Amino acid sequence: MSENIYITEERIEGTDDGPLSGTTVAVKDNISTEGVRTTCGSKMLAEYVPPYDATVVERLKEAGATIVGKANMDEFGMGTTNETSYFGSVDNPAAPGRVPGGSSGGSAAAVAAGEADVALGSDTGGSVRCPAAFCGVVGIKPTYGLVSRYGLVAYANSLEQIGPFGETVEDAAQLLDVIAGDDERDATTRELPLDEDETYADAATGDVDGLQIGVPTELLEGADEGVVETFWDAIAELEDRGAEYHEVSLPSVEHAVEAYYVIAMSEASSNLARFDGVRYGHSADAEGNWNETFARTREEGFGDEVKRRILLGTYALSAGYHDKYYKKAQDARAWVKQDFDEALSEADVLASPTMPVPPFELGESLDDPLQMYLADANTVPVNLADLPAISVPAGETDGLPVGLQLVGPAFGERRLIRTASALA
């Protein structure tokens, strides 16, 4: 077993009968589980026990799944390597000595190590797809609104979605079948007409004959040579199966990372204001007035990366700077969405390397947060555009896993699953 995959290993049994009966699931530790600790990888919530289940957990239980543990993660979902967790970093089962990716690294590692059949993570800017790529497994980031976020501890509400991991595309798709659907407790979910003839798992046919693949040239620029070579090998395999590709352009992605981090950090600043040591979570022993206790609680309870993002987000929202930063970031987000819509009018799916680099060595990027932020260049634009994406193993470079990212139109998960299953 890879080190530190789980923060809590308490089992949660589902019903005796259901589509996932006998299936073991790891659940990221920012998804609420009634009576079982949900820490978000933070000292602030190290002893927090939710009084209710997230909607996705309820649906897992009803489907007969057995939850085998709460998976380790970057603190409050903030990180690309899974090294910001208060409970220690996770080693990558597919590349020992390397990071598993973040922030859902424990979930991906659980599947890669065979510790769970499937897993749930959350994806704010690539937090399902990055660890899927680094650990050599499949990860799906659903369209915003396809899966209920009720019970997911919020980091950046307008960007994040819960998504499944599996060893194969069909495994991940079967889990998506269980968790997808509208929820009256989450107003952002959308009621869609049911396709009774084809479940998500049914779509995993591998039929790509005649498929038009768009390759955004901007998402290959600056990528590791070995990653790019492995990416083209995967495209060639899809061509052999009848697909065709052509280059497309997404000029707005040049500004996507900057826009994403302004929006995400601003929302994090607001969401994490609730952790004051009074209502729940860590509470510092401090003499003096409430302001001193509040400050000490947050100083002790949050790690460096979380503090950095709260400070930057608070600054971006402060008087005199809101229009300069946050409003411009939202304008850039609209531009990114427009570019994706135009590209997808010329192609069935878009393809790129999931991550521009292979897995980092443990400790390599801890002292360089900018390097960590820039590594998200291929994944964050998808969240800004509210679109679905999947990361599927494309091969290896120098013995390290490389992922292929496929992006589709809103609620086009079946198309992505059909395409990705030609490779895994």
Query: Which residues form the catalytic set?
Result: 28, 103, 127
Angle between helices 256-271 and 304-317 (to 10 degrees): 100
Q: Which two tokens stand for residue 354?
A: 């999931």
Q: Which two tokens stand for residue 259?
A: 């826009």
Half-sphere exposure of 128 (CA within 13 A, CB side): 31
Are 185 and 148 in contact by the 8 Å Cβ rule? The answer is yes
Q: How far is residue 228 from each of residues 117, 215, 234, 376, 402, measured CA to CA in Å?
A: 30, 12, 10, 16, 9
**178: burial class by Cβ within 10 Å (0-12, 13-18, 19+)?**
buried
Please say whether the dihedral angle defined by the alpha carbons of residues 58, 59, 65 and 67, taken in this order, is positive or negative. Answer: negative
Are 332 and 258 in contact by the 8 Å Cβ rule? The answer is yes
CA trace torsion 258, 259, 261, 267 (10° rounding) = 160
Amino acid letter, residue 165 = F
Are 420 and 390 in contact by the 8 Å Cβ rule? The answer is yes
For 69, phi and psi rounded to 5 degrees? 175, 160
Max distance between CA atoms of the chain, in angstroms, equals 71
Amino acid letter, residue 116 = A
Q: How far is residue 214 from each of residues 67, 349, 378, measured CA to CA in Å?
A: 38, 6, 14
Which residues lie below 8 Å from residue 387, measured CB to CB, with a gap of 6+?
Answer: 143, 340, 407, 408, 409, 410
